[in-house]
Structure 1
Amino acid sequence: MTGQGFQDLGLQATSTGGGCACCSPTSHATAATDTGAPAQQTAAGETVSAQFLVEGMTCAHCVRSVTEEVSAIDGVSDVAVDLHAGGVSTVTVSSAAPVDAERVRAAVEEAGYSLASAS
């Protein structure tokens, strides 16, 4: 495999001693906030999307865990995560009709994270 470069993903080791919430055996609650932006409804037949902010996701496994749990919500057609390792990541949930934020909250908590109400 000579001649192939590697892409730096910008991931960094955490100093908390336990890794990220999905990999750490002791820490499952990380700070997270909802953007407070209302879901946007588009013309009939198109999708609605809402964004949530999640703090503390650090790796692809974190993204996979959140994506899997949120995707299991009835009506969700797509989940996109913009990972900012060790910072605040954006989770965009798309569906045919607005999805209850409490269901998203429960799914994110099941993945090992928590969402807080917007201030």
Structure 2
Amino acid sequence: MFLFPAKGKQHKKLRASTLVEVLVASVLIIIVFAIASMTLNTIFKNTVKRNTHAIETHINKLFYLYRYNSVPPTFQEEFKNWQFTVRQQKENNILYVYIEASPLKKGQTSTKKIIRKQIIIQ
């Protein structure tokens, strides 16, 4: 293994970066990663905040219980900081069953919407 070039051969000189160029490039990379990190954090937080899968599953469970007469026609309960209401209404000989979930925190503004399910029983 040769550590030094043979006599008579010249190495191609590479231009070295200055300290200022390295610092500017590093700062730009850090800024890009910081913006990407904040964007991903916001997206993840909003996804978790608006996840209503458990609430919709509970609404389906209440519908199942209502269908098999385990829940009375007018019913209210609380589940995971949500208020669930089951009510029925008859119009033109058609029975409508409304199952509704709304957030419990009345005084605060909530970004969670009211989730409703309407069932028609003939």
Q: TM-score scaled to structure 1, two decimals? A: 0.27
- Greater relative CO (CA pairs within 8 A, separation 6+): 1
More helix by share: 2
More strand by share: 2
Greater C-alpha radius of gyration: 2
Q: TM-score scaled to structure 2, two decimals? A: 0.27
